[in-house]
Structures are given as C-alpha cells and as structure tokens.
Chain A
Amino acid sequence: MSIRIIEMPHLGESVTEASIAVWLVAEGDKIEKYDPIAEAVSDKVTTEIPSNYSGIVKEFLIEVDTDVPIGTPIVKIETEEDGEDETVEVSADSEDVQEEKSEEFINHINKEIDKEAEEQPQERETKSDAKQSSEPKESSEKSSARYSPAVVRIAQERDIDLKQVEGTGKHGRITRKDVENFDVSSQSQPRAEKAPEQTESHTQSEQKPKSESRPSSPVSHTSAGDEIVPADGIRKAIAKKMVQSTTEIPHAWLMVEADVTNIVKLREKTKEQFKKQEGISLSFFPFFVKAVVQALKKHPIINTSWDNGNIVYHKDINMSIAVATDEHLFVPVIHNADHYSLSGLSKEISRLAGLARDGKLSSSDISGGTMTVNNTGSFGSVQSMGIINHPQAAILQVESINKRFLPTEDGGFKTADMVNLCLSIDHRIIDGLQAGRFLQDVKENLSKFTDESNLY
C-alpha cells in the first residue's frame, strides 16, 4: 500500500495552467487505472483527466474552478502497490505562481529526466570529466600571452605596458576592464607609442630620472575618488612633441662643469646700471646663450637636423629657449641669435618670456629653432637630461650656479662659481667627440668673460 499523487497533466502546446471543472469521482471511491477522475479546463481545451493508478481516491488537493500550473498535484490515490509514499511539496506562494509556472512545468519534465539520469549516470560523468580536464589546460596556455583587440587598443591609447597589468580574467588573462582601470601613474616607466626598435634606443633614459620638461602622461582613471582632468590642447601638443622626440631621436648625453666666477662678478657689477638703463633685469642666461652661439659658429655639426637619411646644416643660428610658465613649457626662438650683443640677447629673451607668460607668442616666435638652450638652473637643478626639441640635434641644459671650493695650483683652495652644462645630442648626427669639443668651446667662451667685458 502506498500513496500516489496525480498532477495536473500537460494539456497541450503552450498551455501552462488549467483548472478542475468537476470531479468525476468522490473521495473514498475505488477506481481503476485510466478511469476518468476529473474534467480539466484550460483556455485551449476541456478534457477528462484519467487516473494513472488503480486504488482509492484519498484526497482532493485543489479546489474546483481554480487555475493551477501544469504539474500541480491534484489528487492523492492510495494504491495496492508497495513502495514509499509520494508527498506533496509545498509550492511557491500563489503570487509567484504565474512567473514560476514554466519552471514547474520544466521541473515536471525534469523529474522524469532525473530518473533516467540516475539509471545511467556513469557514462555522462566520465564524458564531462574528460571535457573539463582537457579544456582549461589549453586555454591557460593561450590566455596569458594573448590580448584581446580591446586590450591592445586601450593599452596603446593609454601608453600602458601590459606586462605591468595584473589580469583578473580566466587564468590571469588581462581583461578590458583591467586596462581601463589600470593606474598609469603607477607604471614604472611610460612606454613609447612606437614600434619596438625605437623603444630600444630609449632604454638609456630608463636608468635616469625623468626630465622636468617631460610632460606627464595622460591620467588614466583608476580607483574611486580619483579626479580625471583631460589635458588641454597645449599639453597635448607638448606630449606629442615629446613622444616624437624620444621615439625618433636616439639621445646621448654629456655633462661638463664650467667656472663662471667672472660672469658672476660682471653681473654683480653691472646689473643695477643695466636695470636702470634698459628697464629689465640682467640674468645669467644671456651669457650662456652668447657662449653657445659663439661655439655653434665653430661647430656647425651641432646646428643641424636629421632629415630622412640626410643631415641638414642650418645656415641661421636660431636659438630656442625654454620658458616655463606655471602650467606649460614654451620654446620661443631667438632668430639669428648670432646677430645679438649680450644686452640684445637679454632684451630678446625678456621679450619672448613675456610673450610666453601672456600667452601671446605668435607662430613665427616659436618656429624655426635650430638648437635649444634650457635654463634648468633657474629652478635649482644641478643635473638633467634634456629631451631634444625635434627636429633639432642638440639641447643644452644650463644648471644652477653654485659656489664651490676649487684647489688652486699652489696647493691651496679658492672659491669659484661653478655650473654644470648638460648636453643631449642626436646620436645619428653627432658623436661624443664632436659633442665634447663643442662643450669645451662653450666652456672656454664662458671663461673669456671678465668683469670688464662689454655688455653692448
């Protein structure tokens, strides 16, 4: 003796619920298998429900004229068969029934399938095991080395070295979100945009600190709270230029130190008078520009450009000078710098700096430069590695002037005003020897100034 449950049967395609219109048997009736027990109604059909079992009708489980999902238990039958009683599971509350009915229908079918599965589980499991053990192996080998198109594109746009990105995807794969969320400023060194052979010539710079003139890379959005400020047009132009310079020009660096004690004396002596007379301050910078210009006359190889396999020797000496404002770096040009006296250079430098600060530089003011002198000393730097101002072949960084003890020939000491001059050269055009000789001349020119030298 056991209890069996009859469920609301599947009444046709698309029918998901039905009701009992009338019970054709009464509780306690003895019935045979296939005897009709009720009349069921759906919006598609009206039909008699036959019993699945022979036995006694024990209990009606649903009310007449109440829609229930297909598969809902409707009646308990006590049969002669041995076995465990079937029980009625508590179904979801009626509010959810509409939503859930498909699942119940599926569950109904699934029960049947599960029965089958229990009978022949072995083969299936083996199959799926084999599948799982072989697949991930293969993909783990692939995923670490391969990047999706989106990842590659974003990495290029943001200048991200993918080796520095931690992948959160399957088997450590770097996902699009990983690169989108990568903090570029945390990157040990920005990567060049260009092809690998150009990055090769760039490796030297990785050993040294970033130049102050180097623009910071665009900020990539990172964790919550970070502010994202799009770069303005000037900053973007600087960035572009810098990238071009560092990727196209193989840089080499030299540094010499020069004794400028006499220049310091000369300036001390003349600055007040000069200010009175000319209305501008006399800085050290024009002395260096003058010395460089004079040296360029003797070393035309420095006043050149690399142009697609040719070396262009520039006739004019147009000296670019770096002028920093609070936000940006400008590089206006002293055209025909060799035509100016010291005071003339002073005035021209002052004029260009003023225009730069007021944002009034014209395009002719900033074009045509053939070499750059950068007054890094003005903010206290003692050593730096300048990035050449493309397409020029050299940049000279004039560092800060500091008093130092120097041994004298008689075995004593003297104080001297010393300055470091850091030269970056385009190694395609200029070799170390040529650069060294040029620097020696600059040094000598500086030393030629006396406290009696004429500013005009």
Chain B
Amino acid sequence: MAMMTYLEAIRKGIEEEMARDEKVVIFGEDVGGVKGGVFGVTQGLAEKFGDDRCFNTPLTEGLIGGLAVGLGVTGYRAIGEFQFADYILPAVNQLISEASRMRYRTKGDWIAPIVYRAPYGGGVRGGLYHSQSTEKVLFGQPGLRIVTPSSPHDAKGLIKAAIRSDDPVLFYEHKRLYRLLKEDVSDEDYVVPLDKANVVREGDDITVIGYGMVLNHALKAAETLSKEGYEAEVVDVRSLYPLDKETLVKAAKKTGKVLLVTEDNLEGSIMSEISAIIAEDALFDLDAPIKRLAGPDSPSMPYSIALEREFLVDEEKVLNAMRELAEF
C-alpha cells in the first residue's frame, strides 16, 4: 500500500503495464521527454522505458487517433493521450470510423487494442475548451468502450484493465481529481473490470448515480443527509459505455428514487440514456420521477468565476437535489 493521488495511481498503472508488456507504448502532445505531459501523468516514463515507447507527437489529434489504430493492428498496445478531452474532437473520425469499427468491420481479423486517455471536467478555470465533459460525443459507439475512474484505487485498476483489453478504450480522467483525491492504493497487480458500475455506498432512501467529480460530491452529501435520517445508495457509473445496466437498474429499483448527476450539460448527456434504461426496466419500482442534475445547457463551461460556478454541479447542489428527492 502506498498513499497516492488519482494522478499518481494512473501513472503507476501505466508504469506497471509498460514494465509487464513491452508492446505497451504511450504517446501524445508533451507526453515524452522530461515533461511527461501537461499534467505530469507520464513523468518519468520516457526515462524508464525509452523514447521509442514514450514519445511526443506533433499537435495533431487526428494523427494520435490513427497512429494508435495502426499500432494496434500490428500487435502493439497503444496509449494515446489527448491533452484535454476537449481536443479529442479533431480525432473523432479516427475514434469512431477506425478504432471502434476495426474489429467489427473485419469480424475480428484486425483488432485495435488501444487506450485513449483524456483529462476532462471543469472547475479549474479552464473556460470553454479546457473544462468540457465530451464523453457524450463518443458515447453509444458500439466497439468503443468509455470508462472513467472516480478514485485512486479505481484509477490504477481501471487503466491497467484498459491497457490489457483488446478493445479500444476511451479512458477519461477527471482533471480536478488528479491531485484532489489521495488514498492508499494497493501495490498488488489488480485490475478493475471495464464493464461494471460500482455501488460505492449503500442506502435505502434514494439512489444517486454519477461519476467523476460529482460522484465525490454525492458521497460527501450522502454523509450530510445521513445525519438528517436519509440513507443514499451511491453508484459510480465507472463504465460509461457500454453501461452496466444490471447494476444501475438494480440500484434504481432498490429505492425507487433516482437522482442522476453529471457535470456535463443536461441535454443528451449519458444520464439521458441511463434515465431511459431505468424508465424501461424499473418503472414499477419507481417512487418518484427520475431526476437529473446537470450543468445548464450552455455550450460549455465559461471562464469567469461567476459563470463557472453557475455551470458547475457542486456539493451543495447535489445535496439539495438529494434532500429534495429524499423528502419527496
């Protein structure tokens, strides 16, 4: 066990996998050399594994997307870093048209074992293009997995599972959590499954489903609510796509009162799909309308403090929504 931040846990996971399998390579903008990424996730990897296996790319996200697929089809396990999840957009063609369809369009003759890493999320004064939750852009693309850890423990286990997977995995890292979360992380060689949601807290009054920063808000709010006599079941979606429907529906049925929280804007977020799934599969256990708590439907999170704060789903907003549902 070692005390580790979320960021260090991701780095540790990558480092373990690179040591374990020489086919694992990592690249992206500022990823190689001594800098090791703008957030420092890949610090020390070039020195440890060589400039061939940890290297810089030009500022060309489409290239990062396709380079990974090319390495994948030739037997490598590529980890492509997008400096911000906002910058994935130029690579979407590669992610959707190539990575997510390679296995299907060749019926398994060619595969693309890839991890695309991307820091997402706001609350860092990042403005429109350093704050977005862009996961919904790539959500619902069969062939592509999307996962995001919400704790250092999961960060290490999930990145290791993503690297070992023969599927292309979009690995979203919440940049606010990078240094915010710190916990004892096992030195063991463990993986966290890529297709399972995680019931982080048990309760029988309301069910809160979320991921990333807002999940941590929900956990804190649940403790406050507990003092008021309500117990919240808190579920970390973790596998954003494909969704772990079974766990989500079960948790929804347990209390019949469901709050879906996302840092993304409301419309068309992943929570919209989760809401539909629960409505389809748990209607007769529902005791309240399925409630979504999300950012406003502005195009993105603005820079000004007042505007950023207005956009962000913070702990207070989560607590208020949870309380309202508990009292319903």
A→B interface (CB under 8 Å): 10, 13-17, 43-44, 98, 101-102, 106, 109-110, 112-113, 116, 148-151, 153, 169-170, 173, 175-177
Contact = CB atoms under 8 A, between A and B. Distances in A.
Contacts of A112: 305
Contact of B286 (A14, A150, A177): A150
Contacts of B314: 106
B124 interface: yes
24 contacts: A13-B124, A13-B175, A14-B39, A14-B178, A14-B179, A16-B179, A16-B180, A43-B179, A44-B39, A98-B182, A109-B309, A113-B306, A116-B306, A148-B286, A148-B288, A149-B283, A149-B284, A149-B285, A153-B284, A153-B285, A170-B327, A170-B328, A176-B255, A176-B257
A16 B6 CA distance: 12
Nearest to B285: A150
A177 B326 CA distance: 11
B179 A17 contact: yes
Give the one of A14, A98, A177 with max B CB within 10 A: A14
Give the one of A10, A13, A44 with max B CB within 10 A: A13
Interface string B78-119: 000000000000000000000000000000000000000001
Contacts of A116: 306
Nearest to A103: B315
Interface string B281-299: 0011111100000000000
A113 B256 contact: no
Given A14-B175, A169-B327, A170-B328, 15 more contacts: A13-B124, A14-B179, A102-B176, A106-B123, A109-B309, A112-B305, A113-B305, A113-B309, A148-B256, A149-B284, A150-B286, A153-B285, A176-B255, A176-B256, A176-B285
B66 interface: no
Interface string B265-278: 00000000000000
A401 B133 CA distance: 84
Interface string B167-200: 0000000011011101000000000000000000
Nearest to B255: A176
Q: List the 7 shortest-distance A-B pairs measured between CB atoms, nearest first.
A: A176-B287, A13-B124, A14-B178, A148-B287, A153-B284, A150-B287, A16-B179
Contacts of B124: 13-14
Nearest to A143: B328
B140 interface: no
Interface of B: 7, 38-40, 119, 123-126, 130, 175-176, 178-180, 182, 205, 255-257, 283-288, 305-306, 309, 314, 327-328
Contacts of B126: 13
B284 A150 contact: yes
Contacts of A113: 305-306, 309
Contacts of A176: 255-257, 285, 287
Contacts of A106: 123, 314
Give the one of A17, A112, A149, A177 with max B CB within 10 A: A149
A175 B328 contact: yes
Contacts of A175: 287, 328
Given A148-B286, A150-B286, A14 B305 contact: no
Nearest to B204: A177
A181 to B, nearest CB: 12
A394 to B, nearest CB: 40
A116 B40 CA distance: 35
Contact of B176 (A14, A109, A110): A14
A56 to B, nearest CB: 30
Given A149-B283, A149-B285, A13 B125 contact: yes
B289 to A, nearest CB: 9
B176 A173 contact: no
A84 B263 CA distance: 39
Nearest to B213: A102
Nearest to A148: B287
A350 to B, nearest CB: 50
Nearest to A178: B287
A151 B125 CA distance: 45
A43 B175 contact: no
A200 B255 CA distance: 35
Contacts of A15: 179
